[in-house]
Every structure is written in C-alpha cells, then in structure tokens.
Amino acid sequence: MSSLFSSINLNSPLSLYSIPVIWFTSFYPHSLKFLKIDNTIGYVNTRPRWNNANNLKEKLPANLTTRFERMEGAHNNGNEAMPLWFAAVIAGNIAGLDNRYLNTMALTYVATRFAYNTVYIYYNDLGKGWARTFLYFFGLSYPLRILFKAAAKVAATGK
C-alpha cells in the first residue's frame, strides 16, 4: 500500500479526481445548511425546497437566516462555476496538457473554492464581500487558463 502512494506525485494523472472534489465544494454548503436547520427548528423533509432562508425568516433569528442565505449563495455559486471547471479539466486531459500543470491548477482551484466558501458563509461585512469577489475571479482564472492552453495545444497540433 505504501508503494502505491509513494509513486503518486504531481506528475501523476490526478486532475480528473478534482471533479468530484469540486462537486463536494458545491454540495457541502447545502448540507451544512440542512444540518443547521435540522438542529435548530427541524428540517421539513416533505418540502425540501421550502427550507430556504426566505421561508425561515419568521422562525429564526436574523443572523441565522442571513447565514443560511450565504450558504445558499455559496451552493448556487458552486453549481454555476462547476461546469466550467469540469470542461476545463476534461479538455486539458484530452489535449494532453502536462499532468504537473493540470494537477497544480486543480489543487489551487480546489483551495480557492474552499476559501471562497469560507469567506462567503462565515464573514458578512463589506470588506469580506470584496475578498469573496476577489477569490471568485481569482478562481475563475484557473479553468479559463486551462481551456485557453488546451485550445492552443489542439490548434497547434491539429488534433
């Protein structure tokens, strides 16, 4: 078993594993919201889409409903950003981009998405809002760079 992990490094073809990890970064804010609602007033499982911050405003303190709104926002943002990342990783692998490059981009993008979610969910002031915006656009640059590099390689090789 140790020999299996000792042979894994940044040159190994690992970037496709970032796809389920990025899905997780989108999904966990929703799950966290579910658990917090269930632990405070109880989650209405027969109407799961009813359990949004807008419908819970009368039952919960304002600080909780705004946090739930931010959890919903982090979840929605992850869902919106996910297809671009999936396309970039797949295109990069099909184009035959260097594994070290793809893995480094994947690790950085995953870290950026976790940082984005943390700032979005737990910090609620104007300065942190700008930090969240910076993290969003910084993170967005990763799939775009992969897509442009993959497109350039395919165009150059005529694949």
Domain assignments of the chain as residue spans, ordered by start? 16-157
> Angle, to 10 degrees, between the axis of helix 99-122 and the axis of helix 62-95?
170
Architecture field, domain 16-157: Up-down Bundle (1.20)
Residues 89, 16 contacting (CB under 8 angstroms): yes
DSSP-derived secondary structure letter, 13: S
Instruction: Tell me which of 40-49, 65-74, 81-90 is least confident.
Output: 40-49
Residues 106, 18 contacting (CB under 8 angstroms): yes
What are the pLDDT digits (tens) for 98-153?
999 999 999 999 999 999 999 999 887 777 788 989 999 999 999 999 999 999 99
DSSP-derived secondary structure letter, 57: T
What are the pLDDT digits (tens) for 20-56?
999 999 999 988 888 777 776 565 555 555 555 556 6
Residues 12, 99 contacting (CB under 8 angstroms): yes
pLDDT at 86 over 80: yes
